[in-house]
Amino acid sequence: MEFKNGPELRKYLQERFELSLPKDVQLSKTKKHGIRVSLKSLKTDRVFGLPGFMVYSKKTGLNFYFFQLFGSLAKKNVIALDEKDAKLYASGLHVKKKLSIDKGLVILAHKGHILGHGIYDGKGSISCPLRQKRRREITNSILPWPGRNI
């Protein structure tokens, strides 16, 4: 899956997840640092640098922190994981789960907390895109996010 620019990624998010970003948030393409998410109103007239953080690059794919931040706005293809599977995901392992959806990206949640995104293979397995350094062997539990039914 490749995205050439911000509008293309925005369109994909809408189609796949019915996810509309807040109006004051922009996705902008940079020459060497992929597509980045930032506030639209940043004062950029005299400062030259990298806005926000990288959401997508050809090399690293989509960034799971982006989904942690905005995933709660998605209206479809959000998959709830139990604690065991949430911990498997965080540790970088595949999660076995048969879903009645097309293969492709899914947003993963646990007790209403948005964990990030995964890649569903259409055959019962969700792979974890987390880079080695970002993986965690989680040792505790968390309580449900009040009023969030994902």
Partner 1 sequence: MEEKEFRDWLSAYTDADLFISTILHQRPSFRVNTLKISNETFDAVSNLECKKCAWYADARIFEGKAQLGNTFEYFLGYIHPQSLSSMLPPLALAPEEGDYVLDICASPGSKTTQLAALMKNTGTLIANDLPEREIALIPNIARLGVINVICTNKDAKNYPLKNEFKKVLVDAPCTALGSSLNASKRFSVEMARKMGEIQKRIIANAYDALAENGVLVYSTCTVAEEECEGVISWLLENRQSAKVEEITLNVPHERGLAEYGSEVAKTWRVYPQHLGSEGFYLARIKKVV
Instruction: Name the site residues for partner 1 (rule: CB under 8 A).
Output: 25, 37-39, 41-44, 46-54, 63, 65-66, 68-69, 86, 90, 110-111, 113-115, 133-134, 136-146
The sheet with strand 104-110 has its strands ordered as 78-80, 104-110, 113-120, 125-127, 95-96
Query: Least separation, in Å, of the C-beta of 72 and partner 1?
Result: 10
95-96/78-80 β-pairing = unpaired
Q: Which is nearer to partner 1, 30 or 124 (CB)?
A: 30
Write the CB contacts of 133 (distance below 8 Å, at least 6 apart in sequence). Answer: none
Q: Which is nearer to partner 1, 69 or 99 (CB)?
A: 69
b/e burial code for range 110-125 (CB count within 10 A of at least 16 → b): bbbbbbbbbbbeeeeb
Query: Least separation, in Å, of the C-beta of 97 and partner 1?
Result: 19
Query: Least separation, in Å, of the C-beta of 145 and partner 1?
Result: 6
Query: Least separation, in Å, of the C-beta of 122 and partner 1?
Result: 27
